[in-house]
Structure formats: structure tokens, C-alpha cells
Structure 1
Amino acid sequence: MTPPRPPLTGRQRTLRIALISSVVVVSAAAFGYVGGWLAPSRLSPGRIVDTLEHNGGDHPGFRRNHAKGVCVAGVFEASGDAATLSRAGLFAHGVQTPVLGRLAIPGGNPYAADSSVPIRSFALRFTEANGQQWRTGMNAMPVFPVTTPKAFYDLQVATAPDPATGKPDPAKAGAFFGAHPETHAFLGWIKTAKPSASYVTESYNSLNAFYFVDANGKRHAVRWSLVPDASDAAPGPAGDADYLATDLNRRLAAGPLRWHLRVTLAAPGDVVDDATVAWPADRQQVDAGTLTILATQPQESGPCRDVNYDPLVLPDGIMGSNDPLLAARSAAYADSYRRRTTEEARGESAR
């Protein structure tokens, strides 16, 4: 039996308290620096969210981006083919994992017409049997426009609506894109992109890279996509600003909706920390399983309303890459979540 430790002397207690206090102070200082509190000129999550709020308008209680959307619920059934790449329990053959998701369009206006933007998004929260979660936000586009949080902030400033016209100033936007050649791939795509008539026929991409970690601790750089079974989108009804939700409910009334989760593996030399660079189409892919959506709930009262789809909430077996956008997304999502839930608690929500 281990003998009891002798009581601490006064000097030892003082040293221990000092040590604990120093750790708290250092941690707080580091957190303050990340938050921008100790460096007012430094880009902070709050400043990023401020620009989104400015551009999208004042809509208390709503997300500052992807404000318009609908909750969906379903299940993910693993094929087992990704189990050699990741030790995450949800990839084991035949495992069924409940999923809570949200389909949405970009922008801070929850009343925007579905045809106002050509991009759709899909956020998911997988909850494993052991309680660990995987949260991911994907977009129906091939690449992200910019590489860094600062460039994303500058993009929001450059494309802010002009008070006189309600639209971005072409000169400011043009100057931004001219100074950022990394946006060329995105611009090449968006020039021909058109608003789809259905959430269900879209493929959604992680854009950022992550690492799958296998049972031996080996890391595999990956991106993932949701690829739909459906491919029969028709033009949205004329005059219906909310045709995406209408189409989604109509399809669900006829039966469940399915996507395949396809994981793409990077090859040696592929860029892992830059979401503006697409990997070549010949990269190895693995069908990790099938996502089945069974039902919808309205966003104002559905269970996804209070979920922060932070892309760095990851289970054992998945890790974030060094892409700087990941940490920025995580911090900005947290700030947006804090604002909207505080507004709801104060009764300021416009819902």
C-alpha cells in the first residue's frame, strides 16, 4: 500500500498556486491573442463575422452565413472500404451512424431567393455509438476562392454591397481578384455555374483536406465528397423563392434520398493545405458508405438549429490538416454561434 504523502509546506503551496496561476495566465493570453483582444489590428474571428453580418444584413437569431436552410435527419451506413484508412468507428463495415444535417445556400439573408446564388451547401453531424462526433460542412463547388483567412476577409470587404446600388462595386471586386491569382480556378467555374433546381442532385465537396488515421497510426491525406444517387433535377418553379425546400419535401414524400460518401486520397506531392487547388481526377477513391436522408424539419425549430457545424469537431481516426482556413472556420463558426444563441436568449430573434 502506498504511504500517504506528507502535507505540503506553506512554501510548497505558494509555489503550486503560482504555477497554476501562470498556466492560466499564459492560456488566457494565448486565447486572447487568437481572439484578437490583445492585438486590435489583428484579424480576429469577430471581424470576419462582422463582415458577413454587414454583407448579409441584420437578421438576429440566424447564422451569419448559410442563413437560409432546412434540417434533415438520417443515417450513414458504412461499406467498410474506408476502415483500412481510418480507425473511426463509423467506417467499420455495416455500422449505422445517426446523422443530423442541414442543407442551405450561402449568404447571411435567411429570406434570399434560392436562385440568388449558384452554390448549395450540406453540413452533417455524425454521432458514433461511443458519443464521439464528426462534423463536416461541404459545398457544391470544386474549389474554394481563396487560400487564407485574411484573403477571405478582404474578399468580403471587396464584395460588400454598395449602399447606392445594393450590389458589389465592380471596381473594388475587380481589384481584389486581380491581386489574388489563386482565385482564378474558382472564377473559371463560377462564370458558368447556374443555380441548381434541387439540393438532392448536387455533389458536395469538403474542399479542405484532412487526414484519416488508421489502426497503426498512419495518416492518409484525404478529401471527401457526397455524390447523389438522383440526377433528374428540373428547373425550379417560376416565382417560387423557396423551390429547394419544396423539391426536397416532394422527393422525401416518395422515399428516402441517398448519397455516397466518396473519399479521395492524395498522391505524393499533392497540395494538402490549399483549398483553391483541386487534386487531379485520377486520384484513388474509396466509397466509404451511403448517407440516407429520411426526413426534414424546419430550420427555426428543427434539431439542427442549435448545432455548430465546426469542421474541427472530429472523432478519433480523423485529423485536421494544416490548411489555415480550417482553424479560421472553426473560430468564426463559434463566434457566429455565440451571437445567434445570445440573441435568441434575449428574445431578439426575428423568427
Structure 2
Amino acid sequence: MKPLTLAILLVLSPALNAETATPTALIDTFAKLFGEHKGERKGHAKGFCAAGEFTALPAAKQFSQISWLSGATVPVTARFSMAGGNPKAPENSRSPRGMALQLKSPNGELQHFAMLNTPVFGAKDPDVFLGLLQSSLPNPVTGKPDLAKVQAFRQANPSTLPQAEYLQKNSPPWSYATSSYFGIHTFFLTDSSGKEHKVRWHFVPVDGVKGLTDAEIKAPPTDFLQQRLATRLQQGPVHWTMQLVLGEAGDTETDPSQSWPASRTTLDIARLSIQRQGDDACTGINFDPNVLSTGVRASSDPVLQMRSPAYAISFGKRLTGQ
């Protein structure tokens, strides 16, 4: 077989080019992709803390045995962030934004949320995600990724397309306050009768969704997201409505690259209120989305399950200045 033909096959065939993902491999690849930034988060490196409150709405009554849906006002520590491992990421880029939350109920239970402003994740499982990252590594000669290689990998692995297409069709947020955030994984909530419900969650901004204009996207990179949230907070708290999307039979539980049908029943179950920027209040928090309170169970989604050990490695490196 000619070398060129073999090279093309290696790119186009996931079976030939596959590597089993491990937490260490994912973290190491992030470092190769974004550079070494000691003491920073390896993913969502650029971000800042905020604080506020979380209160259940009447529709949450059926889940009132879950501590943060009992009706009591729960304090929230939050972090808003850019995706990726670049602490100087351009804030007008077509890349995901994140909102992470830690709720602390009166009984001491913690509940974490780690969400994106895209309704789906960038790959169906850790192996494909690792392959996508590796296909995006810069060429050692040019210092830039080979876009043809990235495109070939995406075409050979269609689960990498929905998030990319969403980012191209939807403008990046004008402010963190004017963005929806999606819990891209499936969880199970137990109601007061003991019945489990398959759910995904969605935080909808009360201020409405607003994106950057084409001119702002094409403008030179600049930092504005933290200042715009600070300016908005001078007017009062920023609110999101937490919607619970109820899954049905046949809706995927394990593939975060797939959306559920838009026709699914949704419940407005809570109100998130961000009241202030939080200095370094979130610095010591590892926003592992598998930190769940009683009555909430994680699905077997392999991406969700991989996040705990990968986050732990990143957290350990950050605490030790690596």
C-alpha cells in the first residue's frame, strides 16, 4: 500500500486510528492543544466566580424530597467560563461557554451542575472526543492545526458534528447573563413517591438570549464578558429559570452528542439568581458534575463518568501549581 493511501486511511478510519481514552490521556492532550498553564484549570481555564441563590418553584413539589428542591433558598457558588485550556481565550470566538454551580443545602448536601451553552457535547464518548482533540493538535512545523485533518475526522465520526454545527449557526453570547445553559448529560430524579424520572436540565435567562453581532465576532479579540456581567449586576440580580426536561422511552441516556426531541415535556422547577461576582470563592471548588445530592442519580453516559477522574487530575495539578 502506498504511504499516502495509508495515511488517508489512518485519518478516515476511526477503527484504525482509535485510541482508548483515559483521564490522563485527555488531560495531557489538553495541555498539548492549549499549552501548559501552571496552576490553571486544564479545561475551562478562563473564567471567574460568582455567587447567588437557588429557589424551587411550585412545579418542583413532586421532587420536594430532594434537598435543593424542597423550597428552601439554597446558597450558590458559581463559575462562568470559556471552554478549553487557554486562560486568554478570545471572548468573541465560536466556542462553548460554561456555567458551573455548587448548591449547598441546609442539611449540608452538595449538588453540582456543570453546563454548556450548547445543548449537546462535542462527541458521543471519550474515545471519539480524544480523537477529535488529537486531530486538532498543531502541526509541529506550522504551529497550526491541519484543518483538513480535523474535517476528515469529523466526517468519519458524525457525533462530532452537532455541536460544531450549533456553534456555527448560533452567535456567541453577548454576555454570560444573556445565554442559556444546558445540562448535556442525562440524570435520574426520584420523586416523592419513589418513582425515578429520566431528565436533562436547561437554564433559561430571564433577560433573554442575546448573541454577538457579526461585526463583534469578526472584531479583534477582546475581554468583555466579566465586565458586562458586573455592569448588569449593578441593576440587580441576574435570573435564570431552571427547566427540567422529562425524557421518554427511546431518548438516549448515554450519548451527550444527541439532543432529545423539542416536544418533550418541560417543567419550570427553580429560579437561579446570581447576585454578585464572587472574587475567588469558586477557586477551591472542583465542579465535578457527579457530585449529587440524595434523590439524584447519574446515568451511565461514558463522557459523564469520565469527567470525575479527569477533573480530579486537573484539580490535583492546579492545587500543586502544575
Shorter-chain TM-score bucket reads: 0.7 to 0.9
Residues 260-308 of structure 1 show CA distances to partners (whole Å, capped at 9, x for unaligned) of: 010100012211111111111111111111100011034xxx1101100
Shift of 1:87: 2.5
Name the residue aligned to 1:243. 224
Counterpart for residue 4 of structure 2:
none
SS of the residue aligned with 2:283? helix
| Aligned with 1:274 (options 252, 255, 273) | 255
1:1-351 pair list within 5 angstroms: 43-85=21-63, 87-93=65-71, 95-231=72-208, 233=210, 241-298=222-279, 302-343=280-321
Deviation at 1:183, TM superposition (A): 2.4
Shift of 1:70: 1.0
Deviations 1:326-349 (A, max 9, x none): 110111111100111011xxxx6x
Which stretches of structure 1, 4 residues or longer, exceed 6 Å deviation after superposition?
none
Identity of aligned residues (%): 36
TM-superposed CA distance for 1:196, in Å, is: 2.1
TM-score normalized with structure 2 length: 0.88
Structure 1 or 2, whichever has the larger Rg, is 1
Decide whether the 8 Å contact of 1:80 with 1:92 is kept in 2. Answer: no
For 2:55 and 2:278, how far apart are their aligned partners in 1? 22
**Contact residue 78 and residue 90 of structure 1 kept, 8 A:** yes
Letter in 2 for 1:44: T
Counterparts of 1:154 and 1:139, CA distance in 2? 21
Q: Which runs of 5+ in 1 are unaligned?
A: 1-40
Tell me the CA shift for residue 106 of structure 1. Answer: 0.5
Contact 2:20 2:127 (C-alpha < 8 Å) held by counterparts: no
1:158, CA displacement in angstroms? Answer: 0.7
- 1:160 positional shift: 1.5
- CA apart distance, 1:217: 2.6
Q: In the aligned structure 1, how far is the partner of 2:190 from the partner of 2:88?
A: 41
Asked if the contact 1:67/1:109 (under 8 Å) is kept, the reply is yes
Cα distance in 2 for partners of 1:263, 1:248 equals 25
- Mapped to 2, the partners of 1:294 and 1:222 lie a distance apart of 27
C-alpha deviation, 1:232, in angstroms: 6.9
Q: What is the deviation of 1:44?
A: 2.0
Alpha-carbon separation, structure 1, partners of 2:312 and 2:78: 18
Contact 2:76/2:102, CA 8 A, preserved across alignment: yes
- Counting matched residue pairs gives 300
Whole-angstrom CA distance in 2 between matches of 1:305 and 1:258: 23
Moved more, 198-207 or 223-232: 223-232
SS in 2 for 1:124: strand
| C-alpha contact 2:100 2:287 (8 A) present in aligned 1 | yes
- Amino acid corresponding to residue 172 of structure 2 in structure 1: P
The CA distance in 1 between the partners of 2:244 and 2:195, in whole Å, is 16
Structure 2 regions of 5+ residues with no counterpart? 1-18
Give 1:80 shift. 3.4
CA RMSD between the two structures: 1.9
Q: Give the superposition deviation at 1:42.
A: 5.5
